[in-house]
Chains A and B, each alone.
Chain A
Amino acid sequence: MEKAVITVVGKDTVGIIAGICTYLAARNVNILDISQTIVKEYFNMMMIVDLSKASQPFGEIVKELSSVGEEIGVAVHCQREEIFTKMHRI
């Protein structure tokens, strides 16, 4: 499994999850977990995804997700999971 964490932060609006998920489905990226909260009208989502069967290289997915986010009006980051597990797990 090739896990990555996608974070989405921005003002809440219609179609944020739909926009991101549609993109991921088209690139054959499997979603393993989603958690989402809204704090003071700000949308905050974290997804854990598996990229092992993704149709494109990681670097391109990072860039494209960022521009998908721009179209919706939210900031989207995609990072390999190890940076979080290494930092927060002994």
Chain B
Amino acid sequence: MINVFEVNETNKMIEQEKLDVRTITMGISLLDCCDSDLEMTKKKIYQKITEYARDLVKVGEEIACDYGIPIVNKRISITPISLVGASCCKTSDDYVALARVLDRAAKEVGVNFIGGYSALVSKGMTRSDELLIRSIPRAMEVTERVCSSVNVGSTKTGLNMDAVRMMGEIVLETAERTKDQDSIGCAKLVVFCNAPDDNPFMAGAFHGVTEADAIINVGVSGPGVVKCALEQIPDADFETLCETIKRTAFKITRVGQLVAQEASRRLGVAFGIIDLSLAPTPAVGDSVADILEAIGLEKVGAPGTTAALALLNDQVKKGGVMASSYVGGLSGAFIPVSEDQGMIDAVATGALTIEKLEAMTCVCSVGLDMIAIPGDTSAASISGIIADEAAIGMVNQKTTAVRVIPVIGKGVGETAQFGGLLGYAPIIPVNRWSCGQFISRKGRIPAPIHSFKN
């Protein structure tokens, strides 16, 4: 039988170390909502989402109450809308109309984000993909809860540099359209390489075409728990350090697995995967940067940061894999800047630069995330940042992403405020030398040699 020390340990994790389940995300296929008539498509989408996800928030709250564990977000991911709208959307405005329907459906069922206003263009772009991409800035301006993502490359296909060039412009236009709120529209837009089909985390979640009609994916969290465990062993050797992270990750993930199974059972929807990512929040003590500092860095960004992060990410996976029957999504430590107080402090003091963040993304998921850059950064430079990050993903056969926010009207030394879970971020300097000629080239970067495994 369970003893009092074990019970106290669990409750201390929840109450003092901010253990929570970050998100229960219901993936819903909208492929059966396709229609040649726009109004009909809108109706079908709204009906399907509100029917399938009707009880999602209620069940999430019940599970949280039963087990005494906070479940922070209840969310929905859907089939990439460029596919769903392909036969009825003749203009970008038609796609924006679908975005409004998604926003309405999300509000109706009470989820805080719905992800999947997306296009998958890793090799080429259809007419409908292009219409969707061109509609993103407007869609991000007029909706509140819709999240958008575009997959511009993969290890198998190489990088679609026409899409990369376009996304630099789209990110900038999205920033411009939401400049009244520190360009917050860009916080809902992710550019991927090797995007996974079953990611439960926003803003990059979508329900891939390889998935079933509906599925429950769960994202766990718990940087605070790992940090507290490591603070107990400041002088331990690497073996003990790794063992401690693994044990802690196991415990965190088991909670996620329990919640996922319960949600799946109560909603009557199949369980998909647990995403093992350590996801920070702006709350003090819930920070991945703090873990790296507990491992032994004075500040994140110091020499040794990449190695410490590689160790952390690997041990979290090793502990987590043992705890769950199915692991998927992004599954790695997240290093968003604005959502992590330790990262914010490191950027503000100058310890952490965008170049070091890029190096860190080589060894963890998911990429350059929630980074505020000067509003006068050129579209070509943003495309260059996207291309660099996508190349890292392509060559290393991993998911990488870019979610940068060019804060219109602000520059280095100022701060962008996003609020809530999105936090705030000091604006980080970007290399001012131009990559314009490189980005203006047309076509694709071919797939790397090691992708030819057949």
Contact = CB atoms under 8 A, between A and B. Distances in A.
A12 interface: no
Interface in B128-155: none
B66 A88 contact: no
Contact of A7 (B1, B11, B62, B66): B11
A62 B63 CA distance: 12
The contact size tier of chain B is: 20 to 34
A46 B67 contact: no
A16 interface: no
A35 B4 contact: yes
Contacts of B107: none
A86 B68 CA distance: 14
Interface in A37-90: 37, 44, 46, 48, 58-59, 62, 77-89
A62 B257 CA distance: 23
B255 A33 contact: no
Given A35-B4, A87-B251, A82 B10 contact: no
Contacts, number: 61
B7 A80 contact: no
A59 B62 contact: yes
B2 A82 contact: no
B255 A58 contact: no
Nearest to A36: B4
B207 interface: no
Contact of A83 (B1, B3, B10, B62): B10
A52 B237 CA distance: 48
B316 to A, nearest CB: 16
Interface string B246-267: 0000010011011000000000
Given A7-B7, A37-B4, A48-B2, A83 B65 contact: no
Contact of A85 (B2, B66, B68, B257): B2
A33 B62 CA distance: 26
Nearest to A35: B4
A59 B4 contact: no
A5 B66 contact: no
Nearest to B68: A79
A63 B94 CA distance: 48
B440 to A, nearest CB: 54
A87 B67 contact: no
B4 A82 contact: no
B4 A88 contact: no
B239 interface: no
A48 B68 CA distance: 15
Interface of A: 5, 7, 33, 35, 37, 44, 46, 48, 58-59, 62, 77-89
20 contacts: A7-B7, A33-B1, A35-B3, A58-B65, A59-B62, A62-B66, A77-B11, A80-B66, A81-B2, A82-B258, A83-B10, A83-B68, A83-B69, A84-B7, A86-B254, A86-B257, A87-B254, A87-B255, A88-B9, A89-B2
